Chains A and B, each alone.
Chain A
Amino acid sequence: LAKTTQPISMDSYEGQEVNITCSHNNIATNDYITWYQQFPSQGPRFIIQGYKTKVTNEVASLFIPADRKSSTLSLPRVSLSDTAVYYCLVGDMIGYSSASKIIFGSGTRLSIRP
């Protein structure tokens, strides 16, 4: 199963664009890249998922280079409410085989300042 490496923490200011990069050198062919956000004392919340190139939704963009060994979550114009822990996950849960499971790393603690 592919492991991920993310920065432990990042700081930014309101209104800035924040990019969090995740390394996953051992990503498998069937693996998807998924990002979750977690606030204290709450369960993680799905942000975005991708397989290759670029994916964009209403809250974030996900950039994945051709070799898929890394990915970058981009949060445009962050606000104080974006202060949270962000997890990069690599795995394949689309198939419901016994091998399907997701590994969370330690995440990136993002702090947004006024």
Chain B
Amino acid sequence: ETGVTQSPTHLIKTRGQQVTLRCSSQSGHNTVSWYQQALGQGPQFIFQYYREEENGRGNFPPRFSGLQFPNYSSELNVNALELDDSALYLCASRVGAQGASNEQFFGPGTRLTVL
């Protein structure tokens, strides 16, 4: 069974640029969530995708957007990067269905640095 994978591992961008981060969910998982984790803080929920539709969003501006594909992999796009966007971006997958566990499986994250 393949776990959650994310790419790239590290990324350096400059302020104002755009970035796309990618996530492959664990086999059989149809729900993907994205989190932003600043240094020394807990992960902050960005949004969740279930069957290719966004069905939950945290307090992040519209320049944070995402996609989920038919194979349940996902992308996180961030436009007009700001210095405060520097963080570890985590992707988590799970089975989204009634009776499923709250257990999420996290990937190793993408470390984004904005200069």
Contacts and interface: CB of A to CB of B under 8 A. Distances in A.
Interface residues of A, number: 28
A102 B45 contact: yes
Contacts of A61: none
A13 interface: no
A28 interface: no
Interface string A22-45: 000000000010100000011111
B98 A98 contact: no
Interface residues of B, number: 34
A interface SS class: loop
Interface in B42-65: 42-45, 48, 50, 55-58
Contacts of A102: 33, 45, 102, 104
B31 interface: yes
Contacts of B31: 96
Interface string A91-113: 11111111111111111000000
Contacts, number: 77
Interface stretch (B13-21, B72-80, B105-113): B105-113
Interface of A: 32, 34, 41-46, 49, 87, 89, 91-107
Given A89-B102, A105-B42, 6 more contacts: A41-B88, A46-B104, A91-B102, A94-B99, A100-B48, A104-B44
27 contacts: A41-B88, A41-B109, A42-B109, A43-B92, A44-B90, A44-B92, A44-B106, A46-B103, A46-B105, A49-B103, A91-B102, A92-B102, A93-B94, A93-B102, A93-B104, A94-B100, A96-B50, A96-B96, A97-B55, A98-B55, A99-B56, A100-B56, A101-B48, A102-B45, A102-B102, A104-B35, A104-B44
